[in-house]
Amino acid sequence: MQTPLYDFMKAYAESGFTRFHMPGHKGKKFVGYEDIDITEFYGADSLYEADGIIAASEQNATNLFGTKNTFYSAEGSSQCIRAMMYLAMINKKGTSRPKIVAARNVHKSFIYAATLLDFDIVWLWPKGDIRSLCSCEVSRDDLEDTLRNMEETPAAVYITSPDYLGGMADIKGLSEVCHKYGTILIVDNAHGAYLKFLTPSLHPMDLGADICCDSAHKTLPVVTGGAYLHISKDAPESFGEYAKYALALFGSTSPSYLIMASLDLCNKYLSESYKERLEKTIGVIEDCKEILKTNGWQLEKTDPLKITISAPDGMTGLGIADILRRNRIECEYSDPEYVVLMATPENNEEDFSRLINSLGKNERAYSDKISLPIKNTESVMTVRNAVFSEHEMISSKDGYGRICRELTVACPPAIPIAVPGEIISEDMVKLFEYYGVENINVVKQAGF
């Protein structure tokens, strides 16, 4: 597969042209990559009006993912999520305020989209024993119940899969329900770009989602910020037509060519022996998981590239992360209950041996764990109105009864405990304590 974007940048770096254009480094090396760091000038195309080398590179990505369109983002899935919500808004029927049905474990960029685009959210809450803010399993039946009871069809249903712990939703089943009720399924697949290259593919575009985003940088060899916005062949026509505009609405007018070049080179990498490398790595991860289990560690069911370890009695996920750090291993995420490791084919076998050796044998028991009180709560203002309200910072311990004004999240996983406009419940106060959130921003109200 060709790499039109990277080839152009490299040729320009070697051309000896005098640079009387941005960026200001003029190709001189400060960090080390400035020679190929260019901007939108003659021949270099333009991300949001692409018809040259960027369009050719995006076409390569489109072919690889088998979508109707795959567009680049140099500003992560965060930009794509805002763009996807804009597309849902312009596709909405009827005149009432737009509603999005969403599983509660959204990344905060979804709430930022609600702030900017002013839509209402109908939450799907987790059920059963809840051990993390990161998970929110939604069954077909749950979704069907919600959609059946809504007066008006929502603009979209929004699901995060894989979630931060590696949990995967039934995208096929959920997309069938969405289409039966005349709405679309949007998937935050930030953690799952690689799912396309499994046999069979588990990518949302192959399971019936209408649009999704992938953070290429999370699981593929792409530098931070590189992401895809995918549009399925069955999605409404307007999506392909307006996607670039939707991305431009929320992006910089100077998108990074370095990030785009990384996406461009990744196309070539994916088109060569990636599938085999991925399969081999998944085998190594499975072996590693088996050894960890034999050594007494409890693992969660995850997508193939994650290893999520549960903390036994008397330990926390944060404590396990510290042990790993002392052994020169940095994890992706840890909280009181879990530690999450993300692997890719770029990890080598020594990495897995180091992991196994660092953790050693676990002699502690796993008793029944607490269930977190993540529950339906009353919302008294729109997200947007709350965010634009007068506000004050208070200790999270004093939050009960106040209206949330600003997202209260620990980052990672950047998943909200309280959403702007919601009345902070006693349960939320407990969750703030559990996740170490000390201060919260609330709407200023008389009487408090």
Ligand X SMILES: Cc1ncc(COP(=O)(O)O)c(C=O)c1O
Contact flag: residue 292 with ligand X (CB under 6 A)? no
What residues contact 157, with CB distance under 8 A and at least 6 apart? 100, 101, 102, 143, 147, 174, 177, 178, 183, 184, 185, 186
At its nearest, how many Å lie between ligand X and the CB of residue 263? 12
Contact flag: residue 188 with ligand X (CB under 6 A)? yes
At its nearest, how many Å lie between ligand X and the CB of residue 42? 30
Q: Which of 107, 230, 306, 405 binds ligand X (CB under 6 A)?
A: 107
| Bridge pairing between strands 120-124 and 156-160 | unpaired
Contact flag: residue 193 with ligand X (CB under 6 A)? no
* Closest CB to ligand X among residues 250, 297: 250
* Closest CB to ligand X among residues 3, 215: 215
Task: Report residue 242 as tokens.
Answer: 């307006």
Contact flag: residue 109 with ligand X (CB under 6 A)? yes
Task: Report residue 383 as tokens.
Answer: 């997200």
Contact flag: residue 76 with ligand X (CB under 6 A)? yes
Contact flag: residue 219 with ligand X (CB under 6 A)? no
* Closest CB to ligand X among residues 166, 421: 166
The piece of 6-14, 32-40, 76-84, 111-119 that touches ligand X (CB under 6 A) is 76-84
The piece of 59-67, 75-83, 370-378, 423-431 that touches ligand X (CB under 6 A) is 75-83
- Rounded distance between C-alpha atoms, residue 78 and residue 122, angstroms: 21
* Closest CB to ligand X among residues 79, 91: 79
Alpha-carbon dihedral sign for residues 212, 207, 94, 376:
negative
What residues contact 305, with CB distance under 8 A and at least 6 apart? 194, 219, 281, 282, 285, 342, 343, 344
Q: Is 423 helix (H, G, I), strand (E, B) or coil?
A: strand
Helix (H) or strand (E) holding 212: strand 211-214
At its nearest, how many Å lie between ligand X and the CB of residue 215? 3
At its nearest, how many Å lie between ligand X and the CB of residue 340? 11
* Closest CB to ligand X among residues 3, 160: 160
At its nearest, how many Å lie between ligand X and the CB of residue 306? 12
* Closest CB to ligand X among residues 202, 359: 202
Q: Which of 54, 124, 227, 404 binds ligand X (CB under 6 A)?
A: 227
At its nearest, how many Å lie between ligand X and the CB of residue 221? 15
E strands, 295-436, in order = 298-299, 306-310, 333-334, 338-342, 391-395
* Closest CB to ligand X among residues 103, 231: 103
What order do you get walking across the sheet with 298-299 strand by strand?
Answer: 298-299, 306-310, 338-342, 333-334
Task: Report residue 263 as tokens.
Answer: 């996406």
Contact flag: residue 190 with ligand X (CB under 6 A)? yes
Q: How many residues bind ligand X (CB under 6 A)?
A: 12
- Rounded distance between C-alpha atoms, residue 274 and residue 284, angstroms: 15
Contact flag: residue 443 with ligand X (CB under 6 A)? no
**Whose CB is nearest to ligand X?**
76
Contact flag: residue 78 with ligand X (CB under 6 A)? yes
At its nearest, how many Å lie between ligand X and the CB of residue 188? 5
Computed over its alpha carbons, how large is the radius of gyration of the chain? Answer: 23
The piece of 188-196, 231-239, 296-304, 359-367 that touches ligand X (CB under 6 A) is 188-196
- Rounded distance between C-alpha atoms, residue 376 and residue 126, angstroms: 9
* Closest CB to ligand X among residues 4, 76: 76
At its nearest, how many Å lie between ligand X and the CB of residue 350? 27
- Rounded distance between C-alpha atoms, residue 203 and residue 220, angstroms: 14
If you search the block for the tokens 């939707």, which residue do you land on? 246
Burial status of residue 361 (CB atoms within 10 A of its CB: 0-12, 13-18, 19 or more) = exposed
Q: Which of 8, 86, 123, 164 binds ligand X (CB under 6 A)?
A: 164
Q: Which residues contribute to the site for ligand X (CB under 6 A)?
A: 76-78, 107, 109, 160, 164, 188, 190-191, 215, 227
